[in-house]
A and B are shown apart, each in its own frame.
With several copies, the nearest count.
Chain A
């Protein structure tokens, strides 16, 4: 019987190695797997590459992971200069790759979809294209982009069953479905654990085939 439920974040994150690339979903705090992120802080892996939408607010779990010096490189679309992440970057203590948000999403999607590279007009006319491969397609300058795959994805769900089928509530969805597909190991925390079959097949938002471990985190 397939049963992906684990009893603790420690069990879900056992063996995450130093140097891992971690895909962390969420837009602000919404849709961010807080218990798993705390678990990753506990777990101790270092030298991480963290892929998420933003550098986080001061006091947030993301900021804590960063200020603990556990992240070598941050890949995201948005960092406030006046934030822990911003200060670490400005001080040269954190590598930083800024990626426009749509390109970030599409690169993650490409990793999950087996697309080895794609072109996009986004940022092709900007300083972000400096020293990078561009190409005119249909009269429009485009930038070549590569997938962003994770060793680990941390996903925040509303419901999950033992196969790892997931639903999301409202804008909790954001990066979760595409990150779930883009990592070698996808761990989901869920508010509600439901029976297999309780989620109608039309309404599954992330299929369990993308999910390796599920942690039930009720209120």
Chain B
């Protein structure tokens, strides 16, 4: 029976996260799958996308012939603006992140712990080269931090852990995790399962997870 379920693909995870974002939220979407969340927010639901290079009100990618080379998002991809957008400089942009003005940040991660720690920037504590970018600021500053990631590594190891094995991006800040198998909230008890994909049981999910899971 363990083969009768179909894990969500990238779009599926992005769409599932988008479902939980209500109108009016100010949201920063990290590089990778999180960026794709914007594609699944209904056009009539006004959600304000912040990009940390100084955009409040980022819109979808332009048609190739309409690319404006002066207008990119935090992944340096060309974007458009929505009506009502504004630009700020980098210090003001991170004042938004650190100052608690984001209703939500969505990041990718290597690992999340049952206490809400997130590790998303390095696989060893003292690598000489570091790709941090804005993740640490975004992870500590938003009103809530959600993570989108595969439930397990390619080798089948659990990314939902009692403790992170990789260096932390921030401690105790993750509130919700969207994986290709489930949606889980980080609570004072630990991970509470809010949603499992069809065909997968709670026990099957627990078998794929190092951290202890709790029923909703």
Contacts and interface: CB of A to CB of B under 8 A. Distances in A.
A and B touch in the complex (CB under 8 A): yes
Interface residues of B, number: 60
Contact of A96 (B83, B128, B138, B170): B128
Given A2-B46, A125-B171, A209-B26, A114 B87 contact: no
A54 B126 CA distance: 19
A1 B126 CA distance: 47
B70 A126 contact: no
Contacts of A99: 132
A100 to B, nearest CB: 4
Contact of B140 (A81, A121, A201, A210): A121
Given A126-B169, A126-B170, A173-B54, A201 B85 contact: yes
A123 interface: yes
A172 interface: yes
A161 B84 contact: yes
Contacts of B130: 78-79, 96, 98
B102 to A, nearest CB: 8
Interface in B86-113: 86-91, 93-101
B94 A105 contact: yes
A170 interface: yes
A113 B140 CA distance: 13
Contacts of A43: none
A41 interface: no
Nearest to A54: B133
A27 B70 contact: no
B196 interface: no
A86 B51 CA distance: 25
A127 interface: yes
Given A1-B46, A122-B136, A209-B96, A170 B56 contact: no
A112 B136 CA distance: 18
Interface in B109-158: 125-138, 140-141
B84 to A, nearest CB: 4
A159 interface: no
Given A101-B132, A170-B87, A28 B171 contact: no
Given A28-B72, A96-B128, A208-B84, A176 B89 contact: yes
B7 interface: no
Contact of A127 (B69, B93, B167): B167
Nearest to A85: B129
Interface of B: 23-24, 26, 46, 48, 50-57, 68-72, 76, 81, 83-91, 93-101, 125-138, 140-141, 167-172
Interface of A: 1-2, 27-30, 54, 77-81, 85-86, 89-90, 96, 98-103, 105-106, 108-109, 111-115, 120-123, 125-128, 161-163, 165, 168-178, 181, 196-197, 199, 201-202, 204-205, 207-210
Given A1-B46, A81-B131, A113-B95, 4 more contacts: A30-B70, A105-B91, A121-B140, A196-B84
20 contacts: A28-B72, A28-B76, A78-B132, A79-B129, A96-B129, A98-B130, A105-B93, A106-B98, A112-B101, A113-B94, A114-B100, A126-B169, A127-B125, A163-B84, A170-B87, A173-B54, A197-B83, A197-B84, A209-B50, A209-B101
- In the A-B complex, the 10 residue pairs with the smallest Cβ-Cβ separation, listed nearest first, are A102-B137, A102-B94, A114-B98, A204-B86, A113-B95, A28-B76, A197-B83, A125-B171, A114-B99, A170-B70
